[in-house]
Amino acid sequence: MTIKDDVREFLITRRAQVRPDQVGLPEFGNDRRVPGLRREEVAMLAGVSLDYYTRLERGNIKGASDSVLNAIASALRLDDIERSHLFDLARRAGTQRSSRTPARRPAAVRVSVQRVLDSMALPAVVYNAAHDIVGVNEAGRALYFIHFDTEATPNIARTTFLDPRARTFYADWSEARRMTAAMLRFEVGRNPLDEELTALIGELSTRSTLFRESWAEHDVHEHRSGVKTFNHPGVGAITVSYDGWQLPGEDGLSIVTYSAEPGSADADRLALLPAWAAQHTASAPESAVDHGSTKATSTPE
């Protein structure tokens, strides 16, 4: 898709999600022919002309001022991540395509960062914009074991959409899929020249109908904090809080930690993960340990 396509689809999908009553407008009974707001309603709320907003929604966002973008974001009730994405799209529209090849991202975190990870009792995972896992501690590897049970570089997005085990590993698999696609779209908005990220999206689009559906929603997400449940085959269902942030000094790398309320059953299950992982590794065939007993080759539909 071109930048105009991205802008058009993002604004249309955001507009469709805002009900008139959310912004103090009447519903007008059943005569509304579009979901959410009409273009003229967005224009009125943003304080711009209908013609101007129509041009913006058609993808002609180049030259739009920060004040106009903020007004559009407020009219569409964008959260801070969506607002940031809108500004990223505007920046891309106003910038000539660079011929410079982006630097290749590291295959692993710095040795000092890995030492910090290894010192942590809680599960911790470091991943890049393309969702490759480039750093992990023992507890994190045990928690996310299906992501490491393959021959390829562990990749959260690829496993989530293409590994059949993800259906049950994530208690809310549909939410995991939507969130993963939204995180990738947010990264594309910030780094449109990232060749590895573009290749991953192309692969997932080709191999997974569900990824194409999630991608078409144009949602954006940044992994900051929340709660999720894993159905872990070794210790049972674990509900954990996750917290994520950018890794200082490592452009594009994010670290996520997982914790549970002290003294809870979930905390007890987290504590059992390293012992389960040691037993699982010891009992697995050598080929499974070294090369991956299950590959993410299926396409969940």
Together in a domain, 144 and 213: yes
Q: Which ranges of the chain have pLDDT less than 50?
A: 97-101, 287-299
Structure tokens at 157: 């997005």
In a domain, 258, yes or no: yes
pLDDT of amino acid 301? 57
Together in a domain, 84 and 123: no
- Whole-number Å distance between alpha carbons of 182 and 220: 4
Long-range contacts of 49-56 (CB under 8 A, 24+ apart): 56/7, 56/11
Domain around 45: 3-93
Quick one: what percent of the chain has pLDDT higher than 70? 85
Quick check: 115 and 108 in contact, CB under 8 A?
no
Torsion angle of C-alpha atoms 201, 89, 86, 84, degrees rounded to 10: 80
77: domain CATH number? 1.10.260.40
Length of the chain: 301
Sequence-ordered alpha helix ranges (H) in 133-230? 138-143, 145-148, 156-162, 166-169, 173-190, 195-207, 209-216
Together in a domain, 80 and 15: yes
In a domain, 104, yes or no: no
Question: Number of structural domains, the chain?
Answer: 2
Together in a domain, 285 and 185: yes
pLDDT of amino acid 193? 83
- Whole-number Å distance between alpha carbons of 28 and 54: 22
Together in a domain, 22 and 145: no
